[in-house]
Amino acid sequence: MSATPGTDLLVFEEVSKFYGEVLGVDRVTLSIPPGITGLVGPNGSGKTTLMNLATGLIRPTRGRVSVLGIPPDDPERLFAACGYCTCFEAFPAGATGWTFLEGVLSLRGEGRAAARALAGKALERVGLVDAAGRKVAGYSKGMKQRLRLAAAIAPDPRVLLLDEPLNGLDPMARAEVLDLFRNLAAEGKHVVVSSHILHEVDLLADRVVLVKSGYVVAEGESHGLREEVVERPMQVLVRCDRPGALAARLFADGLVTEVELHEDARGLLARTRTPDRFFLALNEAVVTDGLEVETVTPADDDVKAVYRYLIEGEEGG
Amino acid sequence: MTRDVRLRQLGAVVRLELRRLFRGREGRATLFFALAPLLLAIVGLTARNTPLTAGRAENAFAFVFQNLILQGTLYFGCLFTFGGLVRGEQIGKTLHHLLLAPVRREVVLLGKYLAACAVTATLFGLTSAASYLLLLSDSGRPAMLAHLGAGGAGRMVAYVFVATLACAAYGAVFLAFGQWVKNPIFPALAFWGWEHLNFLLPEGLKRLGLIHYLLSLTPVRVPESFLAILGEPLPVWVSIPVPLLFTAALLAFAAWKVRRTEVDYGIE
């Protein structure tokens, strides 16, 4: 497709960003091809900074960024090709799902009918049609996440930057959204997904970029990551209506090593060494037992140790 | 991108901004400031025992417009509205929704400015006209109609025009302040002081204040104080283009700044 080198890539060339004296990222050089790329690192490692740099929300202190050959300071061309699902949670006051999406799409210069059609299609893809007439202020965290995702994918961009897109989604929605990302990648798009959860990215990405303390510490194909991650238990926070019953089921199936029930009896913190089977069992509990899940949030505070483990392993090997 | 698309984008930004202003606290604050002179006029008239003559009502409104509206409610109403156009969205963490669309940032800024102009000019224009009519109505219906027929209506329109020009010019000042510093209230207070002291300045320095051009356009002028250094009103061909050029220069500065604006709410 690309006529000139770099026009089919997301390129960071020796990019540094400092917030005053605080390091955001330093001397990052990356070329990201089409497909799903996972940007993985602990909170504060520089993942969001890289995405914000690529979309011009912030400017590099040094270096050069381009998306399909387009510099970030050309929003007309950049956002005709690129959609960004940010981690910023605020929405305009009083907006409903429909009015928010139509408003965002009308900024593209679309007519009202075209904007509504695009909005409808995107809401359908993220499974939010039924709630679209309601005020966003009353949405759950997961619904807001899906709405942000709808805004990013609605214009069918060639590049999608997704900052922690699975945060707050319930198990069913997670599975649907993961499928959606795979479909988008299969259409030849760039899908860059940031996460601080290695397991999430391992399920999804063709390649992984590990970021830590503002530096890219490793990058490459993601296969093989899963086995290494299995060595360490993953922590998952589940908010639901019957945490006790869920905990009993998970223990009975041998899917968790430890569970802490929340004091308000509306959630639990589980540690699992088999995240794949854990999430499958969670889905089954929703479908067969009618468990009402409000949110599922990975809460892996040991993630830095996993990175260290992986990076040391790579260097050693 | 074609001119038509850019115009549609501009229209979309204006619509979104109007919606935001009507729903947000900026809109409520502006409405409060716009209604304040009208409410004061109602209170003042209710408290009086003897009715105003049409001539006294004209002078009373001139005083109110010059001192209370132009240098008070309109000034601070515009500060709330225009000062928060970009800054308010940074604080509310919603600015990125606009900046992640395929639209030039200058178009976003211009759309926001035009929407704010429409809101403030409508509110302050309407309440200025309503205050004028209310004060005049104290003289009785026949006297009011006679006064309006004898040039009063034209003067009322002139006041509305001055209010509109003031909204555009002060709006550009506060938009630029909002782009320049984190809290535009402090430079706005300093500028308010400068505008307030304009009547004390000699003729040459008076021209460095917006208020001098705006007052030159008001149909009736009342001395601000016995200390006031009265100068000749400026001709229309000076007092209209100069605020407009000043406005254009400030908008250009704000556009230059918005191109460099970084959105990182975490470090706000």
For chain A, the straight-line distance linking the first and the last C-alpha, in angstroms and rounded, comes to 36
3-state secondary structure B219-252: CCCCCCCCCCCCCCCCCHHHHCHHHHHHHHHHHH
The mean predicted confidence, pLDDT, of chain B is: 89
**Which chain A residues are Cβ-neighbours of B92 within 8 angstroms?**
90, 93
What's the whole-number mean pLDDT along residues B77-106? Answer: 93
Residue A64: beta bridge partners?
A: A13
Split at pLDDT 50, 70, 90, the class of A131 is: very high
- Two tokens at A315? 């260097």
What is the CA angle B178-B179-B183, rounded to 5?
40
Q: Which of B38, B29, B31, B33 is nearest to B64 (CA)?
A: B38
pLDDT for the residue numbered A142: 87
Name the residue among A22, A58, A104 with its Cβ closest to that of B97: A104
pLDDT at A303 over 50: no
Q: Which of A84, A65, A78 is nearest to A25 (CA)?
A: A65
Q: What CA–CA distance (Å, rounded) separates B242 from B248?
A: 10
A149-184 pLDDT, tens per residue? 999 999 999 999 999 998 878 877 888 888 889 998
Q: For chain B, how many structural domains are there in total?
A: 1
Looking at CA atoms only, how far is residue B167 from chain A in angstroms?
25
B26-59 pLDDT, tens per residue? 888 889 999 998 898 888 888 877 888 888 899 9
Looking at CA atoms only, how far is residue A314 from chain B in angstroms?
33
What's the whole-number mean pLDDT along residues B166-193? Answer: 93
Cβ–Cβ contact A73 with B under 8 A: yes
Q: Looking at this protein, which amino acid is placed at residue A113?
A: A
Whether the CB-CB separation of A32 and A219 falls below 8 Å is answered with no
Contact A57 B101 (CB under 8 A): no
Looking at CA atoms only, how far is residue A111 from chain B in angstroms?
8
How many other CB atoms are found less than 10 A from the CB of residue B92? 16
Cβ–Cβ contact B100 with A under 8 A: yes
pLDDT for the residue numbered B205: 80
- Two tokens at A160? 């999608």
A179-216 pLDDT, tens per residue? 889 998 998 899 999 987 777 777 788 888 888 889 98
Looking at CA atoms only, how far is residue B114 from chain A in angstroms?
16
Name the residue among A22, A55, A107 with its Cβ closest to that of B9: A107
- Two tokens at A292? 């009402």
State the Rg of chain A over Cα: 20
Looking at CA atoms only, how far is residue A203 from chain B in angstroms?
28
Contact B15 A109 (CB under 8 A): no
Q: Which of A291, A306, A123 is nearest to A200 (CA)?
A: A306
Name the residue among A55, A92, A93 with its Cβ closest to that of B100: A55
| DSSP letter, residue A70 | B
**Do the strands A267-272 and A258-261 form a parallel or antiparallel pair, or are they unpaired?**
antiparallel
Alpha carbon of residue B222 to chain centroid:
20
pLDDT at A252 over 70: yes
Please tell me which residue, A62 or A311, carries the higher pLDDT value.
A62
B230-244 pLDDT, tens per residue? 667 778 888 899 999
Whether the CB-CB separation of A60 and A68 falls below 8 Å is answered with no
What's the whole-number mean pLDDT along residues A220-238? Answer: 65
User: A182: Cβ–Cβ under 8 A, 6 or more apart, which residues?
Assistant: A36, A204
The mean predicted confidence, pLDDT, of chain A is: 85
Q: Domain A10-227: give its CATH architecture.
A: 3-Layer(aba) Sandwich (3.40)
| A·B CB contacts under 8 A | 98
Q: What CA–CA distance (Å, rounded) separates B51 from B49?
A: 7
Contact A107 B24 (CB under 8 A): no
Split at pLDDT 50, 70, 90, the class of A2 is: very low
Q: Which of B120, B124, B47, B48 is nearest to B82 (CA)?
A: B120
Please report the DSSP string for A168-190 in residue order: T--HHHHHHHHHHHHHHHHTT-E
Q: What CA–CA distance (Å, rounded) separates A180 from A122?
A: 11
B59-72 pLDDT, tens per residue? 999 999 998 999 99
SS3 B24: coil
Q: What CA–CA distance (Å, rounded) separates B238 from B234?
A: 6
Q: What CA–CA distance (Å, rounded) separates A241 from B60?
A: 67
Cβ–Cβ contact A92 with B under 8 A: yes
User: A243: Cβ–Cβ under 8 A, 6 or more apart, which residues?
Assistant: A261, A262, A265, A266, A267, A268
Q: What ipTM does this complex have?
A: 0.83
Task: Identify the domain containing residue B90 by its residue range.
Answer: 3-267
pLDDT at B83 over 60: yes
pLDDT for the residue numbered B231: 67
Whether the CB-CB separation of B246 and B165 falls below 8 Å is answered with no
pLDDT at B178 over 50: yes
Name the helix (H) or strand (E) containing B116: helix B105-137
- Two tokens at B183? 């809290």
Q: What CA–CA distance (Å, rounded) separates B118 from A97?
A: 27
Q: Tell me which fold the domain A233-301 belongs to.
A: Alpha-Beta Plaits (3.30.70)
